[in-house]
Amino acid sequence: MDLTATFIRMTVSTAMNAVKTVVAEREWEQFHSEGNLAKSVAIEAGELLQCFQWGSDFDADRVQDELADVLTYCLLLADKLGVDPEQIVMQKLAITRKKYPVDKARGRSAKYDAL
């Protein structure tokens, strides 16, 4: 593992531990079924999208807050499912790299089956 990967792992781990501490201190685990967490990801993604609802101007602080909410629920869902967030992202990127080879996909937004 290179230094960048080590740093990312430490950052995700630090954030995960902090989120879990906040939840545990408040005894909120009881509300965190897989379904409730998945719904919360989508709800917070909607709030993030709302920041851009009426045009290209947006409140950067509000965007940051909503992005943090999305990431927080993603971390909680990954933990609930017993999966490592960094590992599943890296696995999915490996699939994406195969589906979208650089020589075919560079600078293009076409779906993999239309490259």
- Residues in touch with Mg ion (CB under 5 A): 44, 47, 66, 69
| CB closer to Mg ion out of 60 and 114 | 60
Q: Whole-angstrom Cα distance, residue 61 to residue 80?
A: 29
Q: How far is the CB of 22 from Mg ion (least distance, A)?
A: 15
Q: How far is the CB of 39 from Mg ion (least distance, A)?
A: 13
Q: How far is the CB of 79 from Mg ion (least distance, A)?
A: 19
DSSP string, 1-49: --HHHHHHHHHHHHHHHHHHHHHHHHT-GGG--HHHHHHHHHHHHHHHH
Q: Whole-angstrom Cα distance, residue 95 to residue 102?
A: 13
| CB closer to Mg ion out of 58 and 100 | 58
| CB closer to Mg ion out of 66 and 77 | 66
